[in-house]
Structure 1
Amino acid sequence: MASNAGTFSKMSNNSRQKFIETMIAGISENSQDDSMADVDIIVEGERFPCHRLILATMSPYFKAMFHSGMVETRERSITIPGISKSAFVQVRSSMYGSEYSITTENAMELLHAAALFQIISLQEACEEFLAKEMDMENCLMLFKIARSCNCKVLLEKCRPYVMEGFNGLWKSEEFETLDLEDLESIVRDDDLVPVDEEQICEATIKWVQADFSQRKKHLSRLFRHIRLVNVSPEYLLEELYNKDLLVNDETCKRYLDEVRDYHILPARRQEFASSRFHLRNSDDFEEVILVLTEYDMERSGSFYQDGKCLWAYSHHQGRWYTLAPIPLPQNPGTGFRVVSFRNDLYLTGGNSSLKNLLKYDSDRNEWVQCDASMKRGRYNHMTAAIRESVYVLGGYNAKMAEGNNVQGSIEEYNVNSRCWRTMGELIVPVQCAATVAVGEKIFVLGGKQEDGSNFDGIQIFDTRQRETKVEPGLLKGFSQPLQIVAVDGKVIIITAAGEVYDFRYSKMKLTLVKRLHQDCLPILGVAHYRGYIMLISASKDKPLIFSKVYKLELRCTPTRLDVVSPKNNTKPKPIHACLRCVVNKQFMYHTYFQ
């Protein structure tokens, strides 16, 4: 007869199920048998015989207690405070696999107990029960409980009620009982749907005033997350600036001044990047990266037989969208420059229309030909916006006399009067330089000279004094052309070789902060989003065609570079201009090239 010694038979699914059912039934039966109990849990003076093995198996709380080496490890009786007898009866039943009852009266207490003892099955059952009972009357209370007990299921059910019903909830008495962390999680949430941001200001102030002595120190922490960019200038000046609790708080006062500057500096709006300027998902507008490209004859068909295509990359949706194209009769050719003013764009010059001036009206999603023309035509020039004006500097004009093709002239277009006037001259005529506006000065970095060599200095044009000065040699050894972006008072420069510099313009100092990998090059354009530097890159074999979007984080140590993958396979090409802007969502519906 053959021997079966040493063989192993795997338990079938049927056998395993039978085993589990038998074990649960046995455990449940033993819950009624005190003879084998080895620990007594005392709740409100009543003794509940239990088994350490069962408690430790079902509850990490008890497992830690019994293995801690403390007195509870050896004691026969252990007193548990903070829970009622009736609640512990249900908790004990759940650990022993017996039937337990969740009702409207005990659900809250059972949830707290399940969270305390870390009994996942009971906690989830309580969360599901409370989620079914949720309404606008109790959602704020449940939101507080869900956060305090780390109830992910219940919190996910609460969020839509709180986020969408905030306008009514903040006026309730329950709102004033929120913890700091609870309120902060609400006001910082991009999914919050207020009637207007003024309501969030009022709600926050109300919460602070409900216990002013204890809460006033938290005011700036909360106001940090309020999207003050959406607060009207009238409310800012008439209400917020007239509240002593805000203007007497140094940080809050800085926040108010910051948004005041936003409103009075329309030419610089795209540089603001702090959390006060982040848009919520319910807003009508969205922060995007705009690029201007040629139209794609093969893929666009007859619909897009136009001069240039305007693309918008949605950070929130992770997609490229097409906005209004530049009509073919207004095609500027190449070498044009684009600058933002408020949320509009101004396009100047171009080798097909040297004195050209086009405006992209973001309110109507259309390009408009401006009547005024530059005094001197140009392309490959530099442009910047300061106060109520757009400036063009230098550039190239093939129609000029031999040896004078690269220009130094500076012109100003006043957005209000719609007139051009000559403002001055660059000391060193250049084209294809990097330009950034700081205060009332325009910094022109590098550029190509008449003989084709790169200029290694920085020229500073003072728009008020109409004077230019030069700081020579600061860019010696820099690989040009340069990319430049201004964000929240900082200026970041990226060389053609991928070196990233922090430009301290007040001290005229350049500090190397990162070297990009060669796979990231060439960089076609830069923008910013919520403090990140966004890089639009191409590949070496197709240097003008969009390849990848990179997100560069310079605020941490070490710095970090991540690839952002668009959800559609659109490849805008070739890219002539790139900048950050804010557009109306109603125009971001068309993805024709897909």
Structure 2
Amino acid sequence: YEKNSVKLCQNKLILIMSDKFDRNLTRPHSEQLLQGLQLLRQDHELCDIVLRVGDAKIHAHKVVLASISPYFKAMFTGNLSEKETSEVEFQCVDEAALKAIVEYAYTGTVFISQETVETLLPAANLLQVKLVLKECCSFLESQLDAGNCIGISRFAETYGCHELCLSTSKFICQHFEEVCQTEEFLELTRAELDEIVSNDCLNVLTEESVFYALESWIKYDLTERQQYLAQLLHCVRLPLLSVKFLTRLYEANHLIRDDHACKHLLNEALKYHFMPEHRLSYQTVLSTRPRCAPKVLSPK
């Protein structure tokens, strides 16, 4: 190469300043490339695909969309009918979300807010735009509080966001005392509640908190939920409750007093206190292992 010449090396423009010095122009080249593609799209020049959602039409280039989305790559290079077409209609994607993802393909930027994330995440998940999906999950994790963590957990599970599911589970366990006071908690399904209160990492001062949370959940829809009392009571570490508390439950709580299975569980817990020589056998019936609270999640 001659001095002060320019060469293309592994898709990177390198300016040869001397025999011993190369200048890496990757970043300005990438920026110029994106800006050029964006201008072409805005002017509808060389566009070979139109994404139609509702009455909106979004002009784009197949190669750009395929570069950031395995979904689009399969659509435009596989044996699908869309391979040869110049227009594709989307019926299950939000218009604003699709526009945002196309904009991201050309600019590398995306705007995520409480108003946009509920439509942007499903769109990114469907179109397999991993970086946008990851950022949506990170945003939701940063927004977690006692009043929305259950809803975000369900949202994450719906779209298979495994890491966000883990984060919400840890948050719920760490902040259980606050979470169980919310409307979302009272609207949990039995299976969801069972999973939470069975967790060894539930952060509670005593098992009394767990019992009162279960009692509130059952009383929220007593007619439908009373049938689950014994199953859920099994999730409470009853032997870790004081004799005084267990006795008061037995005498004053009619929901437990009128349920044979519940009375049996309380009797087993009382035996654990009054007959310490038989405690090993009771561990097969009731859990006596103290819960281990998780580490506190750092604020975002």
Give the shorter-chain TM-score range: 0.5 to 0.7
2:259 aligned residue: 247
Supply the AA of the counterpart residue of 1:197.
E
> Against the structure 1 CA distance between its residues 71 and 172, is the aligned structure 2 distance closer, same or farther, given a 3 Å change threshold?
same
2:178 aligned residue: 168
1:120 aligned residue: 130
Q: Are the counterparts in 1 of residues 147 and 182 from structure 2 also a CA contact under 8 Å?
A: no
1:279 aligned residue: 290
Q: Are the counterparts in 2 of residues 39 and 78 from structure 1 also a CA contact under 8 Å?
A: no
Supply the AA of the counterpart residue of 1:278.
R
- Equivalent positions of 1:261-410 (< 5 A) are 261-271=271-281, 272-273=283-284, 276-282=287-293
Answer yes or no: is 1:103 the counterpart of 2:113. Answer: yes
Larger RCO, structures 1/2 (Cα 8 Å, 6+ apart): 2
Deviation by residue 1:555-592 (Cα, 9 ceiling, x = unmatched): xxxxxxxxxxxxxxxxxxxxxxxxxxxxxxxxxxxxxx
Q: Are the counterparts in 2 of residues 124 and 153 from structure 1 also a CA contact under 8 Å?
A: no
> Against the structure 1 CA distance between its residues 254 and 45, is the aligned structure 2 distance closer, same or farther, given a 3 Å change threshold?
farther
- Equivalent positions of 1:431-510 (< 5 A) are none
SS at match of 1:189: coil
SS at match of 2:114: coil
Shift of 1:172: 1.6
2: CA distance, partners of 1:101 / 1:157: 22
2: CA distance, partners of 1:70 / 1:275: 57
Answer yes or no: is 1:40 the counterpart of 2:41. Answer: no
Supply the AA of the counterpart residue of 1:177.
E
> Against the structure 1 CA distance between its residues 246 and 42, is the aligned structure 2 distance closer, same or farther, given a 3 Å change threshold?
farther
Q: Which runs of 5+ in 2 are unaligned?
A: 1-7, 15-23, 295-300
Shift of 1:90: 1.6
> Against the structure 1 CA distance between its residues 9 and 105, is the aligned structure 2 distance closer, same or farther, given a 3 Å change threshold?
closer
Shift of 1:267: 0.7
Q: When the two structures are aligned, how many residues end up with a matched partner? A: 273
SS at match of 2:59: strand
Deviation by residue 1:28-48 (Cα, 9 ceiling, x = unmatched): 344425354444333333222
1: CA distance, partners of 2:78 / 2:278: 61
Shift of 1:174: 1.9
Shift of 1:266: 1.1
Answer yes or no: is 1:191 the counterpart of 2:163. Answer: no
Q: Which runs of 5+ in 1 are unaligned?
A: 1-7, 284-594
1: CA distance, partners of 2:188 / 2:128: 24
1: CA distance, partners of 2:190 / 2:74: 31
> Against the structure 1 CA distance between its residues 254 and 151, is the aligned structure 2 distance closer, same or farther, given a 3 Å change threshold?
farther
Supply the AA of the counterpart residue of 1:176.
L
Instruction: Give the structure with higher Rg (CA).
Output: 1
2: CA distance, partners of 1:57 / 1:10: 17
2:152 aligned residue: 142
> Against the structure 1 CA distance between its residues 24 and 175, is the aligned structure 2 distance closer, same or farther, given a 3 Å change threshold?
same
Q: Are the counterparts in 2 of residues 127 and 154 from structure 1 also a CA contact under 8 Å?
A: yes
Supply the AA of the counterpart residue of 2:56.
E
Shift of 1:91: 2.4
1: CA distance, partners of 2:193 / 2:207: 15
1: CA distance, partners of 2:266 / 2:40: 66
Supply the AA of the counterpart residue of 2:206.
D
Shift of 1:197: 1.4
Shift of 1:158: 4.5
Shift of 1:159: 5.3
Shift of 1:281: 1.4
SS at match of 1:80: coil
> Against the structure 1 CA distance between its residues 178 and 111, is the aligned structure 2 distance closer, same or farther, given a 3 Å change threshold?
farther
Shift of 1:273: 5.0
1:335 aligned residue: none
> Against the structure 1 CA distance between its residues 86 and 10, is the aligned structure 2 distance closer, same or farther, given a 3 Å change threshold?
closer
1:528 aligned residue: none
Shift of 1:269: 1.6
Deviation by residue 1:168-192 (Cα, 9 ceiling, x = unmatched): 3212212123355543443233322
Backbone CA RMSD of aligned residues:
4.2
1: CA distance, partners of 2:77 / 2:215: 48
Supply the AA of the counterpart residue of 1:203.
A
2:88 aligned residue: 77
1:259 aligned residue: 269
* TM-score (normalised: structure 2): 0.67
2: CA distance, partners of 1:68 / 1:184: 45
SS at match of 1:102: coil
1:87 aligned residue: 97
Deviation by residue 1:167-223 (Cα, 9 ceiling, x = unmatched): 232122121233555434432333221232122223234335545677677666655
Deviation by residue 1:89-112 (Cα, 9 ceiling, x = unmatched): 222212333543223322333234
Q: Are the counterparts in 2 of residues 163 and 191 from structure 1 also a CA contact under 8 Å?
A: yes
